[in-house]
Amino acid sequence: MTDLPTRDRLLEAAAGLFYAEGITAVGVDRICSAAGVSKRSLYALFGTKDALVAASLERFGERIVAGYLPATAMVDGDQPSPREQILGVFTWLESAAATPDYEGCPFVSAATELKDPAHPAAAVAKRFKDRLTAFFESAARSAGAPDPADLAQQLTVVFDGCGDRVVVTGHALNGLPTRMATTLLDAAGVRR
């Protein structure tokens, strides 16, 4: 990490520490130590810890979303159906939740821990959650769901609830998210 620019080192260190240990538990000194930079550099680049939290969530969030939204990419030259695209998100969740460093959805975690909708990181978290819901709604609409907005909200709740259940219980998901999403898709008549 030492060959990265100072800003990138701070963002990487902050994102990893905040995700693993929590935003309030990690102080500026610890972030600077992990990044190998001075506090002066942190404040010169970000101004406040709150701005660093938002920027690190933005960067980390892009990586997370890139993991599950490519479910829309071409598979063997064929575009997956909207149903397959939606279920691909839940397959990703099951895989991610099975890793030893999984700590739940970073957006839900940040918003829950901060408890302040005016915090800059809360706005970042909401935007990423809205992006997932918009993806579900678009795919549901393409599949002809009678109420794609409602189905998208339900799918987002399943995604968030299953992801956080792993953190709370420590139990593997064992296909639960995909089964629940399949049930919702079937009930909405989304077959393709």
Domain containing residue 174: CATH number: 1.10.357.10
Question: What is the predicted pLDDT for the residue at 69?
Answer: 86
Are the beta carbons of 154 and 145 closer than 8 angstroms? Answer: no
Whether residue 166 is contained in a domain is answered as: yes
Question: What is the predicted pLDDT for the residue at 75?
Answer: 52
Question: What is the predicted pLDDT for the residue at 71?
Answer: 47
Whether residue 1 is contained in a domain is answered as: no
Whether residue 17 is contained in a domain is answered as: no
How many structural domains is the chain composed of?
Answer: 1
Question: What is the predicted pLDDT for the residue at 145?
Answer: 97
DSSP single-letter state for residue 72: G
Residue ranges of the chain whose pLDDT lies below 70: 1-2, 70-77
In degrees and rounded to multiples of 5, residue 75 shows phi and psi of -120, 115
Question: What is the predicted pLDDT for the residue at 191?
Answer: 85
CA separation (Å) from 150 to 91, 122, 155, 165? Answer: 21, 23, 9, 22
* Residue 171, domain extent: 50-187
In degrees and rounded to multiples of 5, residue 187 shows phi and psi of -65, -30
91-131: pLDDT as tens digits: 999 999 999 999 999 999 999 999 999 999 999 999 999 99
> How many whole angstroms separate alpha carbon 171 and alpha carbon 63?
25
Residue found by looking up tokens 């599950």 in the block: 68
Question: What is the predicted pLDDT for the residue at 79?
Answer: 82
User: What are the residue ranges of helices labelled H in 69-175?
Assistant: 82-97, 106-114, 120-142, 148-169
Question: What is the predicted pLDDT for the residue at 1?
Answer: 58
Whether residue 173 is contained in a domain is answered as: yes
> How many whole angstroms separate alpha carbon 75 and alpha carbon 69?
13
Question: What is the predicted pLDDT for the residue at 82?
Answer: 94
Whether residue 127 is contained in a domain is answered as: yes
